[in-house]
Amino acid sequence: MSVTSPASLSGVLDTVASDPKLVGLLTHVGESRLHVQGPDASWPFALATLAREAPVLVVTATGRQAEDLTSELTAMLGDVVAMMPSWETLPHERLSPGVETVAQRRAALYRLARGEVKVLVAPTRSVVQPVMAGIGDVEPVRLVEGAELEFGELQERLVQFGYTHSDVVGRRGEFATRGGLLDIFPATAEMPVRVDFWGDEISEVRVFSVGDQRTIPSAVPDEVLVHPVRELLITDEVAERAGRLARENAGNPELAEVFDKISQHTPVQGMESLIPVLYDGPMQVLPELMPEGSHTVVLTPAAVQRRAEDLVATGREFLEAGWEVAAMGAAAPVDVAAIAANSAEDAPEEQVDRAGYRSLASLAKTQDTLGRPWWTVSPTGIADYELDDSEEGGSAEPLLLDFDLAPAPHGDLEAIGHMMSTVRARVEEGGRVAYAAPSPAIVARMLRRFREAGIAAEAVGVDLDGITGQGRMRRSKNSPDAPPAAGTVSIYQAIAHGGLDTRDVLFITETDVTGNRVEASATGKRKAAKKRNRVDPLALEAGDLVVHDQHGIGKFVKMTERTIGRGEDASRREYLVLEYAPSKRGGPGDQLYVPMDQLDLLSRYVGGERPALSKMGGSDWKNTKKKARGAVREIAGELVQLYAARQAAPGYAFDPDTPWQRQMEEAFPFTETEDQYNAIEAVKSDMEKPVPMDRVIVGDVGYGKTEVAVRAAFKAVQAGKQVAVLVPTTLLAQQHYRTFVDRMQDFPTTVRELSRFTSPAESQETLKGMAEGTVDIVIGTHRLLATGVQWKNLGLIVVDEEQRFGVEHKEHIKSLRTHVDVLTMSATPIPRTLEMSMAGIREMSTILTPPQDRHPVLTYVGTQDDKHVAAAIRRELLRDGQVFYVHNKVKTIEDAAANIRQLVPEARVVVAHGQMSEEQLETTVQGFWDREFDVLVCTTIVE
Q: What CATH number does residue 713 fall under?
A: 3.40.50.300
Same domain, 745 and 788: yes
Against a cut of 0.75, is the pTM above it? no
From CA 744, how far away is CA 800, in angstroms rounded? Answer: 19
Average pLDDT over residues 68-83: 94
Asked if 551 and 586 sit in the same domain, the reply is yes
pLDDT at 391 over 50: no
pLDDT digits (tens, 9 = 90+) for 841-877: 567 888 876 655 444 455 666 667 787 788 778 777 7
- pLDDT greater than 70 at residue 324: no
- pLDDT value of position 191: 87
Predicted local distance difference test score (pLDDT) of residue 779: 95
Q: What is the percent of the chain where pLDDT is above 70?
A: 80
Q: Which CATH number fits the domain that encloses residue 382? A: 3.40.50.11180
Distance of CA 857 to the CA centre of its chain: 10
809 lies in the same domain as 677: yes
pLDDT digits (tens, 9 = 90+) for 202-235: 999 999 887 668 888 777 788 999 999 999 999 9
Q: What is the pLDDT of residues 657-697, one digit of tens each?
A: 888 888 788 778 776 777 888 899 999 999 998 888 888 89
Residue 297 has pLDDT above 90, yes or no: yes
| CATH number of the structural domain spanning residue 566 | 2.40.10.170
Residues 654 and 793 occupy one common structural domain: yes
Read off the pLDDT of residues 538-585 as tens digits, 9 standing for 90 and up.
667 888 888 887 888 899 998 888 776 566 556 667 788 999 988 778
> How confident is the model at residue 516, as a pLDDT?
63
Q: Is residue 44 part of a domain?
A: yes
775 and 885 housed in the same domain: no
List all residues 6 or more positions away from 195 whose beta carbon is below 8 Å from its beta carbon: 143, 181, 182, 183, 184, 202, 204, 205
Contacts 24+ apart (CB under 8 A), 210-215: 210/169, 210/170, 210/171, 210/185, 210/528, 210/530, 211/528, 211/529, 211/530, 211/531, 211/534, 212/529, 212/530, 212/531, 212/534, 212/599, 212/600, 213/168, 213/169, 213/183, 213/597, 213/599, 214/600
pLDDT at 393: 45
Flag whether pLDDT at 276 surpasses 90: no
Query: Residue 615 gets which letter from DSSP?
Result: B
Of 103-107, 455-459, 494-498, least confident by mean pLDDT is 494-498
Over residues 370-389, mean pLDDT: 75
Q: Is the pLDDT of residue 492 over 90?
A: yes
Co-location of 107 and 222 in the same domain: no
Task: Summarize pLDDT for 597-640 with one digit per residue, the tens.
Answer: 677 778 888 665 678 888 887 677 878 877 877 776 676 666 56
In a domain, 236, yes or no: no
Q: How many structural domains compose the chain?
A: 6
**Which tens digit of pLDDT belongs to each residue from 166-177?**
888 888 899 999
Put the strands of the sheet holding 545-548 in their side by side order.
590-595, 571-580, 552-564, 545-548, 602-604
Instruction: Kindly report the average pLDDT of the chain as a whole number.
Output: 82
- Over residues 801-830, the mean pLDDT reads 68
Lowest model confidence (mean pLDDT) among 246-260, 415-429, 442-456, 801-815:
801-815
Please check whether residue 391 lies inside any domain of the structure.
yes
* 664 and 767 housed in the same domain: yes
**Percent of the chain, pLDDT > 90?**
41
For the ranges 103-117, 182-196, 665-679, 712-726, the lowest mean pLDDT is seen at: 665-679
Radius of gyration in angstroms for the set of CA atoms belonging to the chain, rounded to a whole number: 31
Do 160 and 125 lie in one domain? The reply is no
Q: In what order do the strands lie in the sheet with 694-699?
A: 751-754, 777-780, 722-726, 794-800, 821-826, 694-699, 843-847
pLDDT reading at 46 higher than 60: yes
Helices (H), 194-344: 236-248, 253-263, 275-278, 286-289, 301-321, 336-342
pLDDT tens readout for residues 824-838: 888 765 555 554 544
Q: What is the mean pLDDT of the segment spanning 38-49?
A: 95
Domain identity same for 687 and 710: yes
Residues 895 and 866: their CA atoms lie apart, in Å, by 13
pLDDT given for residue 533 in this prediction: 53
Domain-ending residue, one of 196, 226, 256: 226
Residues 207 and 293 in one domain: no
696 and 722 in a single domain? The answer is yes
Query: Which tens digit of pLDDT belongs to each residue from 473-487?
Result: 455 677 888 999 999
